[in-house]
Amino acid sequence: MRQQRPEEGSLLTPVPPTTITWHILGAGAIGSLWAIYGHRAGADVRLILRDQQTLDAYQQCAGIRLHSGEQTLHYQLPARCSTSLPSPIQHLLITTKAPQTLPALKALSTHIADDAVLLLLQNGLGIAEQIQREFPKATVIQGSTTEGCYRQNRFEFVHAGRGQTFIGSTKDGEHDTLLQLANSLSFSPLSVSVSDNIKAVLWRKLAVNCVINPLTVIHRCRNGELLNSPEHRAQMRQVVDEILKVSAALGYTDWVVDLHELVTDVATTTAANRSSMLQDVEAERDTEIDAITGYLCHLAAQHKIAVPMNQQLLDKVKRLSSPHQP
């Protein structure tokens, strides 16, 4: 019998549309994707920008542009910076990069309702636990997306590849809430599903990011170009083999039986995309390498598993993202 992928356990029972107001923290590629499609769908979506300077730049650009196939969408949806937010935030979609998440949330904390829903849609692992500690009464939901989107200019993005988006919770009894949230964020063409095994989905996404993101940085190439060279393919295989060993030590073997295939699939469907890590390195921004490869290497060390290829990629990307490091 064919092995069931964790994504396929998702329940897609239709739930009536809701009128949730979504605040979106982070106007990067993923945040802007949801903001633009949400606004187009008539949903109440509001951007939270870092500071007044960013807000001024946003207004000067008259909002966000998104190129999607032949179409360009251009909207100036409501945006505020964190110092001028009016009411307590009840639903927050967090799309900031892993290292910026906690500082950004702390800066917003007086505007976040105690019982807010904080939905995390970002690469890497380890941040949700930190958020839950900081906001103990909030409902923290984790999500994962393989939509491919990259920044072309400050507020201009390209939706370069269609992917899948899942949300879920590690706590029991939140299924109806999750369905409602998934429904409220399924702005066409984006579709959000509930996973009944979000840990597996996040682990699989971490694995994909451990392969594609650092390798596209080292080779300065688009995702699909990794598949064109035998040398790059060999490196991809090596990274995957090491992840399989760590997965086995953690008891996650069933989640990654098709990992080689999955990585190739994602590199193919997002072939035209520039990975988020490559975009960060090129823009001299902090990367998410610590929450991705760093997280994996940390677990490997705890279980005394050698992951030399991942360690090498971690060191190289860290050197590239902090050029002053020896």
Which residues are tagged catalytic?
Answer: 205
122 part of the interface to ligand KPL, by CB under 6 A: no
Query: 63 vs 168, which CB is nearer to ligand KPL?
Result: 168
223 part of the interface to ligand KPL, by CB under 6 A: yes
32 part of the interface to ligand KPL, by CB under 6 A: no
Please identify, among the stretches 51-59, 190-198, 231-239, 268-276, the one whose residues bind ligand KPL according to the rule CB under 6 A: 268-276
Among 139, 165, 183, 270, binds ligand KPL (CB under 6 A): 270
The whole-angstrom separation of Cα 167 and Cα 188 is: 17
- Angle of helix 198-218 versus helix 295-302 axis, rounded to 10: 110
Here's the x/- map for ligand KPL, 76-115, by CB under 6 A: it reads as ----------------------------------------
144 part of the interface to ligand KPL, by CB under 6 A: no
Contact criterion met (CB below 8 Å) for 64 and 35: yes
- Residues 198-217 touching ligand KPL, rule: CB under 6 A, are 208-209, 212-213
Query: 39 vs 204, which CB is nearer to ligand KPL?
Result: 204
CA distances from 180 to 21, 39, 89 (A): 13, 18, 17
**What are the residues whose beta carbons fall under 8 Å from the beta carbon of 297, sequence distance 6 or more?**
307, 310, 311, 314
CA distances from 198 to 60, 137, 165, 169, 186 (A): 39, 21, 11, 6, 18
The whole-angstrom separation of Cα 145 and Cα 123 is: 8
Query: 38 vs 148, which CB is nearer to ligand KPL?
Result: 148
Please identify, among the stretches 185-193, 245-253, 257-265, 271-279, the one whose residues bind ligand KPL according to the rule CB under 6 A: 271-279
Residue 108 Cβ vs ligand KPL, minimum distance, rounded to whole Å: 24
**What are the residues whose beta carbons fall under 8 Å from the beta carbon of 132, sequence distance 6 or more?**
138, 140
Q: What backbone phi and psi angles, to 5 degrees, belong to 62?
A: 55, 40
Which amino acid does the sequence have at 310?
N
The whole-angstrom separation of Cα 135 and Cα 132 is: 5
Residue 136 Cβ vs ligand KPL, minimum distance, rounded to whole Å: 29
Query: 108 vs 128, which CB is nearer to ligand KPL?
Result: 128
- Under the rule (CB under 6 A), what is the footprint of ligand KPL? 123, 146, 148, 208-209, 212-213, 223, 266, 270, 273, 275-276
